[in-house]
Structure 1
Amino acid sequence: MSRASWSLLPAIAVYAITWCWVAVSAPDRVPMHWGPAGVDRWGSRTEFLTFSLVTAGLIGALMIGLGIAASRLPASIINTPHRDYWLSPEHRPAFDGLMRTMMLDIAALILLLFAAINVIVGAGAAATNVLVIVFLLALGVVMVRPIARLYREPPRSSR
């Protein structure tokens, strides 16, 4: 199992736990949309749970699919820093692995974002600020390493 799938599996578990928690503990009427002035649309718990599950599932599946398809992309449509280095035959497998890792990490972050939304709906607006900060920190931790690797200067002997 790849390192990327290890970030995705806990995210799926966290999302499933928060989704089940909302299903059994949220009130019948929950916030569905927030605007600058606060909640501007309310809906039923069932509507929220359905929307959350379908949306998180579709976006997560799209990111996973993009990660799996990374190695099948023709070089002609790829725009990346240090293109000649990353798309050369000897470095293309590493580039494909990096893209796969990034897409699976993004899928994990999307699931964690939806889990945070579940907690906000289940616990009320009091949890909002803390969850936004935690999510942004997780985003930084998960994405900094692969992006830094992609943008750093390739070794001179490999150019």
Structure 2
Amino acid sequence: MDTKKQSSSQPQKLKIEIDSTLSSTVMAAMAVRGICEWAHVALDTVNRIELCLVEVLNNAVEHAYSNEPGSTIEIIVKKSRSVISLTVSDWGLIMPDDTLSAPLAGAIATGGSDSAPDLKASGRGLFIVRSLMGNIQYYSKNGKNSFFMEMTISES
């Protein structure tokens, strides 16, 4: 059986669950990177996907769970012939409604001070995700908050 042909023509799906810690986000990013490399996704695309995943996972740890370990973050990775999608879900605090549509705020957008609080609340992570991913959505249902992102891919 030709596994490369199978991986290209049939949609693939994997679910990963991690603890709400920054060290766990690194492990999840490495796993998704491996999946992308296995699927022969071009290296520059793999790097973009990994960066966006880390930004969304870090937001879940820092904002949904207030840096408290012991809660679950779920990552679902789907890969079809030309699209890879990731859904990151948590059961923590809900992202404010206007967060995804808001322009880049804080020190970076306004040229304000370089103090840590201004940079931390800048929204630069979501700005990066909006810039690099083809489609993003955020929704919350029955206490489960999900951030969906997808990108058209080419194989290397």
TM over 0.5: no
TM-score by structure 2 length? 0.31
TM-score by structure 1 length? 0.31
Q: Larger helix proportion, structure 1 or 2?
A: 1
Higher relative contact order (CA 8 A, sep 6+): 1
Q: Larger strand proportion, structure 1 or 2?
A: 2
